[in-house]
Amino acid sequence: MNLHSVQTWFTSAVARKELRPIDIELPRVLHKLAVEENALCWLLCALVSHQYGRGHSCMRLSELVQAPEYVLGFALPNELRAVLVETDLHTALQQCAWVQCIEQPEAPIEKPLVYFSGALYLARLWKAEHSVAQAIHTRIGASSSLRTADSDLPALIQRVFGEQSTTGIDWQALACAMAAQRKFAIITGGPGTGKTTTVVRLLAILRQKHGDNLRILLAAPTGKAAARLTESIAGAIDRLPASMQTGIPTDVTTLHKMLGVRPFRRSFKHSAQHPLAADVVVVDEASMVDLEMMAALMNALPEHAQLVLLGDKDQLASVEAGSVLGDLCKGAEAGNYNAATLSMLQTYTAHDLSAYADSSVPDVSKVYNQATVMLRESHRFGAESGIGNLARAVNAGEIYRTLPKTPRSDTAYTAESIFTAFDDLNLLAPEQSGTIYPTEFAELRKLVIAGYQTYLQVVAKGEASGELDNTLSARDNWAKEVLKTHRSFQLLVALRKGMWGVQGLNDTVSEWLQSAGLIARAVSGTRTWYAGRPVLVQRNNYTLNLMNGDIGITLPDPETGKLRVVFEQADGNIKWVLPSRLSDVETVFALTVHKSQGSEFTHTVLVLPDELNPVLTRELVYTGITRASKQFTLVAAKPSVFVDAVQQRVIRSSGL
């Protein structure tokens, strides 16, 4: 293999869409800056860029050598596969002009690529990963200046939680005990396990101890998630003892806004030189936070501040590189608590915690377990919940064989029969075999029209009613009602392209709703705006304070009759925006599961394509299921795709 053959393969790999143009451009640019003739360096440089595009923070050479097709997602030609010898790759990187080989993580980085402990990184991802790991280790190992004295904490926890449970371990109380005594803590758990309730109780305890001067910041990755957390916190405060309800903030902002986003720059206003004015920072939906954003957050924290991350470790990882929460929560279900942590937690429960002790060989990653508590009881999805049973089975991979027995039946369920065993589950699958098109799927058409007509009728009612006065409150109340009813039903998809993806289904659903008279027919091919059109913001718009992932609904302004798009802000206020100011939006009758994170819908419909795709994973299916609060429908053109998808896992390479 020579440099010419690698460059020739680059061109063909881009044509086959195995690599991106930017992947093969990287070694070309670096070659202009520092001449490098080694073909292996060019190959590895392009491949690590490819892996970054797929969400990996690094590329491990041993894994690449052992299973290149699995690691990369495509097959290398025999000529390239033959040169993947780990010792040769190691030597090439040691001699490469673009690569800084380091043995100690504290070494200064001056080159665009970093080789450390058998893994190749883009330099900025190495810096981000190292800074996150270093910050967390420092915080876990340090004593917090806000640490609540042990003598006070048990009484405060009892005051908030009441008498200890006699039926089982109160993991919420243990999470409070853990987080109150750490400068860094993670509270993880599935939907309905009480993460928000727990953190509100934690904040109440800290306020009681430190008074009104305690500065608390609340944030979430997206505007949708921030709005949901605002609502959830208000409800959780109402359930506190009356004497502890005051002083807990309910204003939740986005991470970008909290850190002080600087348009068109990678850096933020707040950093180590200009830290956040906070004593406690809480971040919800932490599974959505990518590696570089987490590094920016850690960098902006004052040294004395406490950071609490909330999230479901089993959800999809962030869109950008990294799977930070998943990495940090490895082993959380088993506990893996060392003797000191176990002794501390045992103080707050009468139940024996020895089953959660770490009895294995010490592991660096288990340091994170000493600051993590997993909530295990779902108050939303109990034993009688089909959504809960299905989510747990998918998460455990048991759908491949049979689903476990439930309190409602002595028999195990197959992948399909569980959908008939619970009232809150439904399976739509075509009766005929062979290719099925969405346009021919009568049951899906019926379901979609019935689902979306709820909010579209509220839109039409407001349009037709002359009762809406032109006051700001009347307009906003109507907009809030539309947005609220829109959240009662949502079609989720795995893919962007194809007839079962965002593009195909948005067109199909639009035609169905037009034929049902629920939305206006387009008078020409250029007309895209109409009353009731739901749109998704695809790029951060700092001028309008709209973030990627925000959803708005198009409504006629009661005062002028002209169309506006309404968005609910994190503080609950309504923003009315001219459509002409929204350039990066798309219709969102169908929404990708990735974009749905941080949202909850009364009835969620997950549509899977008719062929298995690398995007279809256990984490995606689980995330789709758990977006539903009351009803879940699976639409499977081929039910076998559902079973196969549950066996595919998202495994991202990282050094955390």
pLDDT class for 149, splitting at 50, 70, 90?
A: very low
Q: Could you give the CA distance from residue 296 to residue 125 in angstroms, rounded to a whole number?
A: 12
434 and 366 within one domain: no
- Any idea which of 69-83, 134-148, 493-507 has the lowest mean pLDDT? 134-148
Q: Which amino acid is at 549?
A: G
Mean pLDDT score, 618-635: 92
Question: Do 118 and 166 belong to one domain?
Answer: no
Question: Is position 394 within any domain?
Answer: yes
Domain count, the chain: 3
Tell me the pLDDT tens digit for each residue of 207-252. 888 888 899 999 998 877 888 888 888 888 888 888 888 888 888 8
Question: Is residue 366 within 8 Å of residue 331, measured between CB atoms?
Answer: yes
Residue 218 pairs in a beta bridge with 252, 282
pLDDT of residue 522 exceeding 50, the answer is yes
Residues contributing to the annotated binding site = 189-196
The edge-to-edge listing of strands for the beta sheet with 425-428 is 425-428, 628-636, 601-608, 489-493, 590-592
pLDDT at 534 over 90: yes
Q: What is the mean pLDDT of residues 551-572?
A: 87
Same domain, 398 and 327: no
The whole-number pLDDT of residue 467 equals: 52
Q: What integer pLDDT is reported at residue 96 of this predicted model?
A: 94
Question: How far apart are alpha carbons 40 and 92 in whole angstroms?
Answer: 7
532 or 558: which carries more pLDDT confidence?
532
**Residue 510 and residue 447 share a domain:** yes
Of the pLDDT bands very low, low, confident and very high (cuts 50, 70, 90), residue 320 is: confident
Please tell me whether residues 392 and 326 are part of one structural domain.
no
**pLDDT per position as a tens digit, 79-138:** 999 999 999 999 999 999 999 999 888 888 999 999 999 999 999 999 999 999 999 999
Q: What is the pLDDT of residue 471?
A: 61
Residue 158 lies in a domain: yes
* Gap between the Cα atoms of 443 and 616, Å rounded: 23
Give 653 or 365, the one with higher predicted confidence: 653
Q: What pLDDT, on the 0 to 100 scale, is given for residue 122?
A: 96
Q: Indicate the DSSP class of residue 186.
A: E
Indicate whether 82 and 179 sit together in one domain.
Answer: no
> Per-residue pLDDT tens for 589-613?
999 999 888 888 999 999 998 888 8
Mean pLDDT value of segment 424-432: 78
Closest CA to 249 of 234, 270, 228: 234
Q: Which two three-digit tokens encode residue 520?
A: 């206006």
pLDDT of residue 592: 93
155 and 108 together in one domain? no
- Give the residue ranges of the annotated binding site for ATP: 189-196
Q: What CATH number is attached to the domain comprising 158?
A: 3.40.50.300
Q: Which of 592, 597, 594, 586 is nearest to 609 (CA)?
A: 592
Establish if 564 belongs to a structural domain: no
Residues 186 and 105 in one domain: no
pLDDT at residue 469, as a whole number? 55
Say yes or no: 353 and 262 in one domain: yes
Residue 364, domain member (yes or no): yes
Buried/exposed code over 609-639 (b: 16+ C-beta within 10 A; e: otherwise):
bbebbebbbbbbbbbbbbbbbebbbbbbbbb
How do 425-428 and 628-636 pair as beta strands?
Answer: parallel
Rounded Cα distance, 639 and 611, in Å: 10
What residues contact 638, with CB distance under 8 A and at least 6 apart? 429, 610, 611
Same domain? 282 vs 172: yes
3-state secondary structure 190-248: CCCCCHHHHHHHHHHHHHHHHCCCCCEEEEECCHHHHHHHHHHHHHHHHCCCHHHCCCC
Most confident of 229-233, 273-277, 402-406, 415-419: 273-277
Q: Residue 429 above 90 pLDDT?
A: no
Contact 459, 532 (CB under 8 A): yes
Residue 410, pLDDT above cutoff 90: no
As a whole number, the mean pLDDT across the chain is 86
How far apart (Å, rounded) are the C-alpha atoms in residues 39 and 88? 12
pLDDT in tens, 255-268: 988 999 887 777 88
CATH of the domain at 101: 1.10.10.1020
pLDDT of residue 392: 86
637 occurs within a structural domain: yes
CA distance readout (Å), 357 to 167, 182, 307, 331: 21, 19, 24, 11
Residue 528 lies in a domain: no
Whether 340 and 426 share a structural domain: no
Q: What is the pTM of this model?
A: 0.86
The tokens of 435 are what? Answer: 């290719």
Q: What is the pLDDT of residue 525?
A: 46
347 shares a domain with 449: no
* DSSP 8-state code for residue 318: P
584, 539 in Cβ contact below 8 A?
yes
Rounded to an integer, the average pLDDT of 274-296 is 94
Q: How confident is the model at residue 614 (pLDDT cuts 50, 70, 90)?
A: confident
235 falls within a domain:
yes
153-188, pLDDT tens digit by residue? 888 888 888 776 667 899 999 999 999 999 999 999
Q: Look at residue 402 in the predicted model and tell me its pLDDT.
A: 43
**Token output for 499:** 């007839």
CB 290 within 8 A of CB 322: yes
Q: What are 575's strand-pairing partners?
A: 567
Distance (Å, whole) CA 241 – CA 257: 32
The CA distance from 457 to 438, in Å, is 24
Q: What is the mean pLDDT of residues 465-492?
A: 82
All residues at 6 or more sequence positions from 123 whose CB lies less than 8 Å from its CB, including other chains: 100, 109, 111, 112, 113, 114
Residue 363 has a pLDDT of: 61
Domain boundary among 99, 129, 159: 129
Q: What is the pLDDT of residue 380?
A: 79
Q: Are 222 and 598 in contact (CB under 8 A)?
A: yes
Contact 516, 453 (CB under 8 A): yes
User: Which domain covers residue 77, as residue numbers?
Assistant: 3-129
At 361, the pLDDT band (50, 70, 90 cuts) reads: low
Q: Does residue 549 form part of some domain?
A: no
Q: Partners of 568 in the beta sheet?
A: 574
Query: Could you give the CA distance from residue 223 to residue 288 in angstroms, rounded to a whole number?
Result: 12
